[in-house]
Amino acid sequence: MKAYKNILNGVLVESPESFKSINPATLEELGSVPYSTPDQIDATVEAAKRAQKSWAALPDQERVAYILNIAELFGEHGEFLAELLTREQGKPLGGTGPQDVPGSRFEIAGCEAWTRIPANLSLPSEVVYEDDSRRDELYRLPLGVVAAITPWNWPLMIAVWQIIPALRMGNTVVIKPSEYTSIGTLEMVRLMADILPVGVINSVTGKGDVGSRLVDHPDVNKIMFTGSTETGLKIAARAAARLVPVTLELGGNDAAVVLEDAEPSKIAADLFWGAFLNGGQTCACAKRIYVHESIHDELINQFKTLLKAMPVGDGMKPGIAFGPLQNKVQLDKVVHLLDDAKSEGATVYEGYEPSEKNGYFMPLTIVTGIKDGCRLVDEEQFGPVLPIISYSNLDDVIKAANKLAVGLGASVWSSNIQRAQAVAIQLEAGTVWINKHGAVHPLVPFGGLKKSGMGVEFGVEGLKAVCQTRVITTFK
């Protein structure tokens, strides 16, 4: 079994203890991951701190060139990373284009796009005020060392979302991947470290205690965190104690509202992928669908046809559209929510029977005859079990969509764009898509409201989030 290593100041390091990474489709051991010791975590932050000043001092175009070289690595090593990702995360290899099943190759293509596009953005200083007597110029300067803490669902792409803007703006990074999906991230970071100056990118691995030590480290100047609301709240409290800025991308329970003028045959495929992308293990998936009673049955029929066309199995095998859930804890949680809905009398329709027996599989499932108040509707399932709620009164649906403590994404589906926009503006979510769900873009700010997060990533706004502002006021 291969022993994977961390990058500390350009050197691959092991730790006295390690843990195993498991293939969720086969339950085979993929390799061992070092469990970073407190001393190693401190040394890693120190290395990032040492490297930061010279990285920030590079001419902007040199940093851009480095980042564009990172973008190239996703082409050169894309297939290697995609296979590792499928083995470790579980999503199928799939393809990259809109006609293909979105899987690991799609994630790697996302890594490349979210590297190349920020590389070409910049935040030059701006004159914010000027008159005869004074000139006020605002600079966006790096913060220093950025800690990046990632989840297991899109492990490489989310890491890129955190790492690349931070590097672009002259920060150095220490990344702590999820303990469930460390290997793919370690390999990606190793490839990045081969390109970058020593100490600019570093990694530590382990469970929450490793992330927690990073959060508390006095030389960490910014925390980028993507994961559960529960952990995000803890991190926000710790960071507040040191007055360190955080960007938090947390859980959601996105509502999709299908108006009666939507055409089920036209929207079904987009709505399906908006709900089931990565087997529902996506932060901004549609996690509860409200559909007008007049088109409910027709939409359900469309969904049943789609479910029947999606083979579930080991994502390394050709023709597989959906892999397993990533880990046992998540599988148990989703099964539990489904059992709860069944006990309340909901109707359950299951798609393809998984072709493998060993892994953390369950069929794609839709649940009807279900209402708000049922746990499967009110809680984030983060898996392939989708509640579809029939409604008659739109105002009630808007209230239901907004009643939860989270507000990451939402969507409205209609053939009347103006009407959809009028509904969209009433939905309490960081992004509301019309006739799509979860369609993030590298130039469009993305973040959650309420307990779904704090701050935004992507685009120029995302760059601002990894900078400090400094104003220089000159009197003439």
Q: What is the contact surface with ligand NAD in residues (CB under 6 A)?
A: 149-153, 158, 176, 178-179, 207-208, 211-212, 215, 226-228, 231, 234-235, 249-252, 283, 380, 382, 408, 448, 453
Closer to ligand NAD by CB, 96 or 212: give it: 212
Closer to ligand NAD by CB, 70 or 408: give it: 408
Among 416, 357, 402, 378, CA closest to 26:
357
- Minimum Å gap between C-beta 182 and ligand NAD is 9
Give the C-alpha separation, 108 to 125, whole Å: 33
| Active site (annotated) includes residue 130 | no
- Minimum Å gap between C-beta 32 and ligand NAD is 17
Closer to ligand NAD by CB, 66 or 154: give it: 154
Residues 269, 310 contacting (CB under 8 angstroms)? no
- Minimum Å gap between C-beta 212 and ligand NAD is 4
Q: In this structure, what token pair is assigned to residue 66?
A: 């480095």
Q: In this structure, what token pair is assigned to residue 70?
A: 């990172």
Closer to ligand NAD by CB, 152 or 303: give it: 152
Catalytic-labelled residue, pool 88, 187, 249, 457: 249
- Minimum Å gap between C-beta 231 and ligand NAD is 3
Per DSSP, the residues of 162-211 read: HHHHHHHTT-EEEEE--TTSHHHHHHHHHHHHHHSPTTSEEE--SSHHHH
Provide CB contacts within 8 A for 387, sequence distance 6+. 287, 288, 289, 341, 346, 366, 367, 368, 370, 374, 376, 377
Per DSSP (E only), the strands in 282-377 are 286-292, 347-350, 365-368
- Minimum Å gap between C-beta 421 and ligand NAD is 24
Closer to ligand NAD by CB, 19 or 352: give it: 19
Give the C-alpha separation, 148 to 138, whole Å: 26
Closer to ligand NAD by CB, 95 or 208: give it: 208
Nearest residue (beta carbon) to ligand NAD:
211
| Active site (annotated) includes residue 374 | no
Four-residue CA torsion sign, 111, 112, 115, 117: negative
Residue 270, classified by CB atoms within 10 Å of its CB into exposed (0-12), middle (13-18) or buried (19+), is middle
The DSSP symbol for 438 reads: S
Give the C-alpha separation, 253 to 410, whole Å: 9
Catalytic-labelled residue, pool 46, 107, 187, 283: 283
- Minimum Å gap between C-beta 384 and ligand NAD is 14
Active site residues: 249, 283
